[in-house]
Amino acid sequence: AQSVTQLDSQVPVFEEAPVELRCNYSSSVSVYLFWYVQYPNQGLQLLLKYLSGSTLVKGINGFEAEFNKSQTSFHLRKPSVHISDTAEYFCAVRMDSSYKLIFGSGTRLLVRP
């Protein structure tokens, strides 16, 4: 069965520091990979997605992620975070044969001044 693992439930970081949020998936078929962000009292917003082609994907708000097929990972990075990046981040996969998203458990990014 397909699954998504986000090992870090919470990542505290100081403002302007770099951050990496980890995501690993398991699937025996081709997948599409996504990162969503959820700000307090709001819905899930798409940050970026990997469909095919270049393994380095750039998204909104200065985030990027790298698809690593051999390690089945899709880690999210930002070189310098802001207070406003404090939110919950969800990694998700979508299989080629299905419309549904399979989510990880989420990582709460807490940016401190």
Partner 1 sequence: EPEVTQTPSHQVTQMGQEVILRCVPISNHLYFYWYRQILGQKVEFLVSFYNNEISEKSEIFDDQFSVERPDGSNFTLKIRSTKLEDSAMYFCASIESGRDFYNEQFFGPGTRLTVL
Interface positions with partner 1 (CB under 8 A): 4, 32, 36, 41-46, 49, 51, 90, 92, 94, 96, 98-106
Nearer Cβ to partner 1, position 54 or 99?
A: 99
The answer to whether 34 and 27 have CB atoms below 8 angstroms apart is: no
Q: Tell me the HSE value of 105 on the side-chain side, using a 13 A CA sphere.
A: 6
Nearer Cβ to partner 1, position 15 or 72?
A: 72
Nearer Cβ to partner 1, position 15 or 61?
A: 61
**Closest approach of partner 1 to the CB of residue 6, in Å:** 9
Using only the alpha carbons of the chain, give its radius of gyration. 13
CA dist 13 to 50, 95, 108, Å?
Answer: 26, 33, 11
**Closest approach of partner 1 to the CB of residue 14, in Å:** 26
**Closest approach of partner 1 to the CB of residue 71, in Å:** 21
CB atoms within 10 A of CB 75: 17
What is the C-alpha separation between 96 and 100, in angstroms, rounded?
A: 10
**Closest approach of partner 1 to the CB of residue 87, in Å:** 14
Nearer Cβ to partner 1, position 21 or 102?
A: 102
